[in-house]
Amino acid sequence: MTVPTAPSASTPAAALQGAAAGDRIFRALLTLAALAIPVLLGFLVYELVQGSELAIQRYGFRFLTTSTWDPVTDEFGALPLIFGTLLSSFLALLIAVPLSLGVAIFITEFAPSAIRRPIAFIVELLAAIPSVVYGLWGIFVLIPFLRTTVFTFLKGTFGFLPFFQGPVYGQSMLAAGIILAIMVMPYIMSVTREVLAVVPASQREAAMALGATRWEAAWTAVVPYARSGIVGAVILGLGRALGETMAVTMLIGNRHEIAASLFAPGYTMAAAIANEFSEASTDMHLAALSYVALVLFGVTVIVNALARVLIWRVSKGRQSGGAGL
């Protein structure tokens, strides 16, 4: 038997070397792909800072604390926008979190298996509706409905609170919060459902063995186990609410003003950018809008960082497992 002399590729060592080269290429490609994201992010921030330079030089941090927005005299302050963004998202979570938690617990713990899938499917379908459709539906259906029912009820019953005073126009902070709640609900619900579904059955069985009812088992054994995952789901919803533009601008009334009443119109950062960017003709107006975008970016980063800390705390302060979620 003759030993093949020439092609080194056929020797085991060389084959390994070839594979190593392939590995290296693959590794390089993946590294490149992974690096693309931070580079893109860096570029985005650079562009935003570049674009808003004029406004940053003129206003500095005063931009964040003043309320005048006057494109004619080039006087800009973003406080009402920041306030509106945070408040509308907060309202959205206030409504959406209990609702989605309830739906998720119902689907995973209580619903007969025949209706689990249909309900989950329908809720997730809500996520696929374009936001402009939500906006139009909001103007044509939701606002007339809210004005004659929910808003009049709130005003009549809780009218002594400053949040429910003043004229009811329809377009308002509250209407925006409600449409946002409907829009973020599918995200929170669907992630929460996944998280609850992977809670080990032993957790439930143990609670029931101790004499807990199904509800007690769900609330004291299953939900706490999935806590950090649920917080993550809420953060996902919050991120979506902070950045939502089209539906909000159609329902919020678009007024650069901070009002205590939830019936009063407001404005958000994303809505202002979408509304004014295309027709902004002066350089300062454009720079101010870029600055708003930069602030929105900053707010998103801060909120996400806080959320990370929250998840970390929640998962650390717990004795039982499930930290991986």
Partner 1 sequence: MSRTLISAGLALAAITAPGTAQSLTGAGATFPNPIYGKWFDEYAKKTGVKINYQSIGSGGGIRQFTEGTVDFGATDGPMTPDQMNAVQGKVLHIPAVMGADVLTYNLAAVGTAQLKFDGPAIADIFLGKITKWNDRRIAGLNPGVKLPDQDIIVVHRSDGSGTTYIWTDYLSKVSPEWKEKVGNAQSVNWPVGLGGKGNEGVTQTVKQTDGALGYVELIYAISNKLAYAHVKNGAGNIIAPSLASVTAAAASAKFPANTDFRVSITNAPGADSYPIASFTWLLVSPDSKDPAKAKALKTFLEWMVTDEAQQMAAVLHYAPLPKPVVALVKERLKTLKAAGKPIA
Q: Which is nearer to partner 1, 11 or 152 (CB)?
A: 152
Q: Quick check: 77 binds partner 1 (CB under 8 A)?
A: no
Q: How far is the CB of 174 from partner 1 (least distance, A)?
A: 14
Q: How far is the CB of 297 from partner 1 (least distance, A)?
A: 22
Q: How far is the CB of 250 from partner 1 (least distance, A)?
A: 5
Q: Quick check: 17 binds partner 1 (CB under 8 A)?
A: no
Q: Within 263-302, which residues bind partner 1 (CB under 8 A)?
A: 265, 267, 271, 274-282, 286
Q: Which of 113, 94, 110, 92 lies closest to 223, judged by CA? A: 110
**Structural contact between residues 134 and 48, judged by C-beta atoms closer than 8 angstroms:** no
Q: Which tokens sit at 10?
A: 């056929």
Q: How many residues bind partner 1 (CB under 8 A)?
A: 36
Q: Which of 150, 145, 149 lies closest to 91, judged by CA? A: 150
Contacts of 84 (CB under 8 A, 6+ apart): 173, 252, 258, 266, 267, 268, 269, 271
Q: Within 20-39, which residues bind partner 1 (CB under 8 A)?
A: none
Measure the CA dihedral 254/258/260/266, to 10°.
Answer: 10
Calculate the alpha carbon distances from 33 to 15, 29, 30, 38, 219 in Å: 27, 6, 5, 10, 42
Q: Quick check: 253 binds partner 1 (CB under 8 A)?
A: yes
Q: Within 106-165, which residues bind partner 1 (CB under 8 A)?
A: 135, 139-140, 143-144, 147
- Judged by the rule CB under 8 A, the positions of this chain that interact with partner 1 are 68-73, 75, 135, 139-140, 143-144, 147, 167, 169-171, 249-250, 253-256, 265, 267, 271, 274-282, 286
